[in-house]
Amino acid sequence: MISDAAGILGGFVTEVSYATVLLFLLVPISTWLLWRTRFGLRLRFCGENPVAAESLGVKVFRTRYIALAISGMFASLGGAYLCMVSASVYREGQTAGRGFIGLATVIFGNWRPTGVLAGSFLFGFTDALRVRQSTSVHAILLVIVILGLLFAMWKLFQRNYKVFGISALSSLIVGVIFLKVPKIPDEFVTFFPNLATILVLVLLAQKLRPPAMLAVPFREREEGH
């Protein structure tokens, strides 16, 4: 057991690039910046109520452009990581839809750095299944069934019968697939990250709270008005 634990820990620290370490450090840094600094307060204010922010003297356009520039820098960092670290070569269409999955990760994380990190683990796991053998993916179905049943029992203990029923039924369906289908088709394994993205967004859409003025145009007040 100790050797297995050491092997798991070794997988986290072996051949880890500096870019990966930097990205992990950005999570606490971003959290501190957004919730512990004046700039973070103004930035969140510009997303929730830009009219009120402008009335208090905040330069809404300037703050939003700074945030847009920072997000663009992070997006370019992700592209550079994909072609220089992950694959070591650039290919046409290399993202393979990962940009949309990244957008879904932000939505899944409820626009918070820690939530985005959790979503990255989830969608990264589903994306990693593409390079695994179909037999390994088939074995993962059993793990999903066990975790689903444990989650269902937890919800039953909390007397949340609706979620319990959905979780139990989903685990039953996956269990039937595990028993009846000896091999998962490669096409399904390739499509699974996109399917997981759709399912997560559909199931959690009602519980997510985006910035109140997201995608709402804002116009500065003219002098004298």
Question: 116: closest CA among 33, 31, 13?
Answer: 31
Domain boundary among 44, 61, 94: 94
Question: 175: closest CA among 145, 149, 134?
Answer: 145
* Amino acid, res. 1: M
106 lies in the same domain as 211:
yes
Residue 1: band (very low, low, confident or very high) from pLDDT cuts 50, 70, 90: very low
198 lies in the same domain as 103:
yes
Counting every residue written for the chain, the total comes to: 225
Q: Is the pTM of this model over 0.85?
A: no
Within a domain: residue 225?
no
170 lies in the same domain as 75:
no
Domain boundary among 77, 94, 111: 94
Is 25 a residue whose pLDDT tops 50?
yes
Range of the domain at 139: 96-216
pLDDT in the model for residue 28: 93
32 lies in the same domain as 104:
no
Considering 10-14, 58-62, 142-146, 194-198, the range whose residues carry the highest mean pLDDT is 58-62
pLDDT in the model for residue 10: 59
> What is the tally of structural domains in the chain?
2
Is 89 a residue whose pLDDT tops 80?
no
Over range 124-152, report the average pLDDT. Answer: 72
204 lies in the same domain as 110:
yes
Over range 68-76, report the average pLDDT. Answer: 88
Q: CA 73 to CA 63: how far, in whole Å?
A: 15
